[in-house]
Chain A
Amino acid sequence: MQDTVDVLIIGAGASGAAVAWSLAETRMRIVCLEQGEWPNPARYPSTGMDWEARAMTEFGFNPNRRANSADYPINEDNSPIKIANYNGVGGGTVLYAGHFPRFHPSDFRVRSLDGVADDWPIDYATLAPYYGENDRMMGISGLAGDPAYPPKMPMMPPVPLGKAGTKLAKAFNALGWHWWPSDSAVATTDYDGRAKCINLGHCLHGCAQGAKASTDVTYWPHAIRAGVELRTRCRVREIATDGQGRASGVVYYDRDGKECFQAAEVVILACNGIGTPRILLNSTSARFPNGLANTSGLVGKNLMFHPYAAINGIFEEPLDGHRGPSNCIWSQEFYETDPKRDFVRGYTFEISRGRGPLVTALTGMSTGRIPWGEDHHRAFRRMFDRITSMVAICEDLPEMHNTVTLDPVLKDAHGIPAPKLDYTLSENSRRMLNHGIERGTEVMKAAGAYDVITQAPIEFGGWHLMGTARMGTDPDRSVVNEWGRSHDVKNLFIVDGSLFVTSAGVNPTSTIQALALYVADNIKKRLANLFD
Chain B
Amino acid sequence: MTDQIAKDHPLSPDAREQLRIVAGIMIPASEEFGVPGADDEHIFGDMLRTLVPIAAMVSAALAAIGPLEPLDQAARCAACERFQASAPTMAAVLVALVAQCYYRDARVMRALGMEPRPPFPKGFEVEQGDWSLLDRVRARPKLYRDAP
Q: Which residues of A are interface residues toward B (Cβ below 8 A)?
A: 44, 46-53, 104-106, 108-109, 112-113, 123-124, 143, 145, 147-150, 160-163, 165-166, 169-170, 172-173, 178-181, 198-202, 208-209, 320, 322-324, 332-333, 335-336, 356-358, 361-362, 365-366, 372-374, 376-378, 381, 384
Q: A104-B145, A124-B147 are in contact. Are A161 and B129 (CB under 8 A)?
A: yes
6 cross-chain pairs, A with B, having the tightest CB-CB distances, nearest first = A161-B129, A198-B123, A323-B124, A357-B103, A105-B147, A109-B147
Q: Give B10-55 interface residues, CB cut-off 8 Å to A.
A: 25-28, 30, 32-33, 35, 50
Nearest-CB distance from A424 to chain B (Å)?
Answer: 25
Q: Give B94-145 interface residues, CB cut-off 8 Å to A.
A: 95-96, 99-100, 102-104, 108-109, 112, 114, 116-131, 133-134, 136-138, 140-145
14 examples of A-B residue contacts, CB within 8 angstroms: A47-B121, A53-B100, A113-B145, A160-B127, A160-B128, A198-B121, A199-B123, A199-B125, A208-B120, A362-B95, A365-B99, A372-B80, A374-B30, A377-B35
Cβ of B148 < 8 Å from any Cβ of A? yes
Q: A residues within 8 A CB of B77?
A: 373
Cβ of B63 < 8 Å from any Cβ of A? no
| Residue of B114, B122, B124, B140 with most partner-chain A CB within 10 A | B124
Q: A358-B99, A361-B103, A362-B95 are in contact. Are A113 and B118 (CB under 8 A)?
A: no
Of the candidates A48, A160, A178, A323, which one forms a contact with B140 in the assembled complex, judged by CB atoms under 8 Å apart?
A: A178
Contact B104 A49 (CB under 8 A): yes
Contact B126 A324 (CB under 8 A): yes
Q: Which residues of B are interface residues toward A (Cβ below 8 A)?
A: 25-28, 30, 32-33, 35, 50, 77, 80-81, 84, 92, 95-96, 99-100, 102-104, 108-109, 112, 114, 116-131, 133-134, 136-138, 140-148
Q: B residues within 8 A CB of A46?
A: 118-120
Q: A53-B100, A372-B80 are in contact. Are A336 and B148 (CB under 8 A)?
A: no
Q: How far is the CA of A173 from the CA of B129 in the complex (A)?
A: 15
Of the candidates A106, A336, A373, which one forms a contact with B25 in the assembled complex, judged by CB atoms under 8 Å apart?
A: A373
Contact B126 A47 (CB under 8 A): no
Nearest-CB distance from A149 to chain B (Å)?
Answer: 6
Q: How far is the CA of A206 from the CA of B35 in the complex (A)?
A: 31
Sample of 10 more A-B contacts, CB < 8 Å, known A169-B133, A198-B123, A378-B33: A47-B121, A52-B104, A104-B147, A106-B144, A147-B142, A179-B134, A198-B122, A324-B126, A332-B143, A358-B103
| Residue of B80, B104, B108, B120 with most partner-chain A CB within 10 A | B120
The number of residue pairs between A and B whose CB atoms lie closer than 8 Å in the complex comes to 173
Q: B residues within 8 A CB of A165?
A: 129
Contact A198 B95 (CB under 8 A): no
Contact B121 A208 (CB under 8 A): yes
Main secondary structure of the interface of A (DSSP, over half): loop
Q: A51-B119, A52-B104 are in contact. Are A148 and B124 (CB under 8 A)?
A: no
Contact B131 A161 (CB under 8 A): yes
Nearest-CB distance from B71 to chain A (Å)?
Answer: 15
Nearest-CB distance from B38 to chain A (Å)?
Answer: 9
Q: A106-B145, A160-B128, A323-B124 are in contact. Are A200 and B119 (CB under 8 A)?
A: yes
Q: A169-B129, A357-B109 are in contact. Are A336 and B145 (CB under 8 A)?
A: yes
Contact B114 A161 (CB under 8 A): no
Nearest-CB distance from A508 to chain B (Å)?
Answer: 18
Of the candidates A105, A166, A198, A384, which one forms a contact with B124 in the assembled complex, judged by CB atoms under 8 Å apart?
A: A198
| Residue of B77, B130, B144, B145 with most partner-chain A CB within 10 A | B144
Contact A166 B120 (CB under 8 A): no
Nearest-CB distance from A160 to chain B (Å)?
Answer: 5
Q: How far is the CA of A198 from the CA of B126 in the complex (A)?
A: 9
Nearest-CB distance from B115 to chain A (Å)?
Answer: 11
Q: A211's closest neighbor in chain B, by CB?
A: B123
Q: How far is the CA of A123 from the CA of B147 in the complex (A)?
A: 8
Of the candidates A173, A323, A373, A384, which one forms a contact with B125 in the assembled complex, judged by CB atoms under 8 Å apart?
A: A323
Of the candidates B96, B104, B136, B147, which one forms a contact with A362 in the assembled complex, judged by CB atoms under 8 Å apart?
A: B96
Q: A166-B133, A366-B92 are in contact. Are A150 and B144 (CB under 8 A)?
A: yes
Of the candidates B109, B144, B147, which one forms a contact with A112 in the assembled complex, judged by CB atoms under 8 Å apart?
A: B147
Contact A162 B126 (CB under 8 A): yes
Q: How far is the CA of A366 from the CA of B96 in the complex (A)?
A: 10
Nearest-CB distance from A49 to chain B (Å)?
Answer: 5
Q: B residues within 8 A CB of A106?
A: 144-147
Q: A residues within 8 A CB of B26?
A: 372-373, 376
Q: How far is the CA of A379 from the CA of B81 in the complex (A)?
A: 17
Contact B136 A173 (CB under 8 A): yes
Q: B residues within 8 A CB of A47?
A: 118, 120-121
Contact B118 A49 (CB under 8 A): yes
Q: A353's closest neighbor in chain B, by CB?
A: B126
Q: How far is the CA of A372 from the CA of B39 in the complex (A)?
A: 13
Q: A residues within 8 A CB of B103?
A: 52, 356-358, 361
Nearest-CB distance from B77 to chain A (Å)?
Answer: 7
Of the candidates B104, B119, B138, which one forms a contact with A145 in the assembled complex, judged by CB atoms under 8 Å apart?
A: B138
Contact B126 A160 (CB under 8 A): yes
| Residue of B80, B99, B128, B142 with most partner-chain A CB within 10 A | B99
Q: How far is the CA of A199 from the CA of B131 in the complex (A)?
A: 19
Q: B residues within 8 A CB of A170?
A: 133
Of the candidates A173, A366, A384, which one forms a contact with B95 in the assembled complex, judged by CB atoms under 8 Å apart?
A: A366
Of the candidates A48, A50, A166, A172, which one forms a contact with B130 in the assembled complex, judged by CB atoms under 8 Å apart?
A: A166
Q: How far is the CA of A333 from the CA of B134 in the complex (A)?
A: 14
Q: A52-B103, A178-B143 are in contact. Are A209 and B123 (CB under 8 A)?
A: yes
Contact A200 B120 (CB under 8 A): yes
Q: B residues within 8 A CB of A48?
A: 118
Contact B125 A365 (CB under 8 A): no
Of the candidates A161, A179, A198, which one forms a contact with B137 in the assembled complex, judged by CB atoms under 8 Å apart?
A: A179
Contact A200 B143 (CB under 8 A): no
Q: How far is the CA of A170 from the CA of B132 in the complex (A)?
A: 11
Q: How far is the CA of A333 from the CA of B143 in the complex (A)?
A: 8
